[in-house]
């Protein structure tokens, strides 16, 4: 660890950023401005995967597929879950981007006060 660099609450040892696809980011599960750890992987502020801590310890990843199916996976550690979510997002990147973009376009279309 570099001198003068503090490990944040959502940064864990052993996790290497760099697998994250372009446009995706980790945010709070309550949204970009929400409180709490950055445990939700999102595109255009729409969550596509998230990590949840189990009551007895350990982590679970919830993967939100573009077809509406949600799949949960057990994680051996926080870093492994985060890396797994990023690898999954990389594999499904095209579908996730298309789905999030469609959701965003539908939301913008409902905003009648906006000028196109």
Q: Tens place of pLDDT for every residue, the chain, 116 residues?
A: 334 334 333 444 444 555 788 889 998 877 666 677 888 999 988 999 999 988 888 899 999 998 889 999 999 999 899 999 999 999 999 999 999 999 999 988 888 776 65
Q: pLDDT at position 89, please? A: 93
CA distance 113 to 19: 38
> 61: helix, coil or strand?
strand
| Burial status of residue 100 (CB atoms within 10 A of its CB: 0-12, 13-18, 19 or more) | buried
Domain boundaries in the chain?
Answer: 24-109
């Amino acid at each position: 660890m570099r001198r003068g660099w503090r490990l944040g609450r959502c940064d864990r040892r052993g996790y290497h950023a760099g697998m994250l696809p372009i446009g995706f980011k980790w945010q709070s599960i309550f949204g970009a401005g929400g409180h709490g750890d950055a445990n939700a992987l999102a595109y255009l502020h729409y969550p596509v995967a998230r990590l949840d801590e189990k009551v007895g310890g350990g982590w679970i990843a919830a993967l939100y597929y573009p077809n509406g199916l949600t799949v949960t996976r057990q994680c051996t550690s926080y870093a492994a879950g985060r890396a797994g979510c990023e690898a999954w997002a990389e594999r499904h990147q095209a579908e996730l981007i298309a789905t999030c973009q469609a959701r965003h376009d539908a939301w913008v279309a409902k905003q009648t006060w906006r000028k196109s």
